[in-house]
Each structure stands twice: as C-alpha cells, then as structure tokens.
Amino acid sequence: MTIRAALRTATSQLGEVSDTPRLDAELLMAHALGTTRDALILRHLDAPTPPAFEDLLTRRLAHEPVAYITGSRDFWTISLHVAPGVLIPRPDSETLIEAAVEHFAGTPGPRSVLDLGTGSGALLLAALAEWPAATGIGIDASDSAIAIARDNVRRLDMTDRARIERGGWSGRGGPHDLILCNPPYIGTEEALPREVADWEPATALFAGADGLDDYRAIAAVLRPQLGAGGVACIEIGASQADSAGALFVDQGFAVSLRRDLAGRARCLVVT
C-alpha cells in the first residue's frame, strides 16, 4: 500500500479516537519514515508504507498520545523530548510565555527564571530560548520529570544556563525576575479524555476536589520568590480565573488575566 492510501485508511480509523485524525496519521507516518511531516507530504506520499507504521497506528488506536509514541513535542520555538512521566506540553501553555514577553517588552528581559513544577522543562527552556542572556532553574518533585527535563536541557545545549532540581512550590534561590508555573488544577472528580486519564501522570493533573489545592500552596509561598518588577505567570483552568486569582489577591498580589487563542481564561499574571 502506498503512503497516500495508508494515510486515508488510518485517518478513517483514527476518527474514533482523535479530534485531529489526519494530523495524527501524518505525524505517525513521518515518525515511521524517520522524516518530518513536511517532507512526508512533499516527497513521500507515493512511496510504500513503512512496516513500522502499523504498530504506531495500533498504539494510537489504544489512545496512547502521539507525543509519547514519537517521543517529541514542539513548544514555542523549541522541540522537546517527552515520555510518560511528564505532561505533554500544549499550545495553551504558550500563553504564559506570551504574557511574559508582554511584561518585559521594551526591557532587556528577565535575568533569572524559575519554573515551578517544570515537568519536561517546556516553560523554562522556552523562556531561556526567548531571552538568551537569562539563566534559570526548573523545580519538580518527580524523578521521571527531573530525568526528562535534564535530558531536554542537554538536547537544547543549555547546560550552562539551566539546571533542574528536586523541590516543591517553595522553589530554590531567588528572588527571580520571572516565575512560570503550570500546576495541577483538575478536580479529582472531573472527567478527562482517555489519552489524558490513562497515560499522563495523575500527580501533574489533579489538585483536590476543587482543583485549587496547589494554587493555595503556591500563593502562600510565592512572595519571597518574586523579585521587584518581576512577574509570575501561572496557568489556570478555563473556569478558575476568579477562584484561583482570589488566592493571590489575598496574599497582596496584583492579578490580571490573559486568555489563550481560543479566548479561554488561561494565565494569571501576578505582580
């Protein structure tokens, strides 16, 4: 079967498990070929289907996320290694980097960046790519996340600018010019898609019955970590602007909201 025909068949099958079946099929096929999606579409559609594609498709039909199958995910201007044990970076989280860029517009940018709950290192490393003079620390409590984030630091050749350490919401060192944080914010009784619930780490998803437990902890320890003139950009769920924001207001912070490209509440801008 040609790749063109295999993609048509796979797209039909993946319609049962994915909102983006054609994209998923193309990404898996490109991975099986060891090429990029662009190169696949431009040069390989009439080539024979590689044998590896069938196994990759079977895994996706079992709801395994594409990023775990291919082992990579693009985020902001960088490409990251991802695997079970860390959340898959999502475009919605780029809203935090956009908010930081806006905050530091017209300035040399942050010198010191702290990423609380760094996971794959996505937010920290995206910020360091944005501001080449900055250095930063990523903090996580998970052994798996620490290993993956350190691997991404090496892959992106940032070992002289970024370090990944074990810790909690109290961070390390400081104060910092920019604090980034995508904490768990899903309520324990909330339903999630199978590819999230079955594959991504629960410790990075759930935050008590109302999804606010980690915001309560972060708000209480944020003040000494944030430098004068600095900003903390903190991801929230789409319905949490008021409830999460109030926790930081109660600690004496000024809080504004930034929405993602779909218009949903996504980032608390805390100063």
Pairing of strands 255-259, 265-270: antiparallel
pTM of the model: 0.95
Distance CA 50, CA 216 (A): 50
Instruction: For each of the domains in the chain, give its residue range(s) and CATH number, in order of start.
Output: 3-62 (1.10.8), 75-270 (3.40.50.150)
Output the CA torsion 182→186→187→188 (10° steps): -110
User: Which residues are CB-neighbours of 106 under 8 A, at least 6 positions away?
Assistant: none
Note the residue count of the chain.
271
**Going residue by residue through the chain (271 aa), what tens digit of pLDDT does each one get?**
999 999 999 999 999 999 999 999 999 999 999 999 999 999 999 999 999 999 999 999 999 999 999 999 999 999 999 999 999 999 999 999 999 999 999 999 999 999 999 999 999 999 999 999 999 999 999 999 999 999 999 999 999 999 999 999 999 878 999 999 999 999 999 999 999 999 999 999 999 999 999 999 999 999 999 999 999 999 999 999 999 999 999 999 999 999 999 999 999 999 9
Cα angle: 214, vertex 175, 117; to 5 degrees: 30
- CA-to-CA distance for 87 and 33, rounded, in angstroms? 26
Q: Residue 177, exposed/middle/buried by CB under 10 A (0-12, 13-18, 19+)?
A: buried
User: By three-state DSSP, how is residue 216 classified?
Assistant: helix
Q: For residue 199, how many other CB atoms are within 10 A of its CB?
A: 16
Helix (H, G, I), strand (E, B) or coil at 215: helix
Q: What whole-number distance in Å separates Cα of residue 235 and Cα of residue 181?
A: 6
Ranges of H-type helices in 143-200: 143-155, 194-197
Q: How many C-beta atoms lie closer than 10 Å to residue 67's C-beta?
A: 24
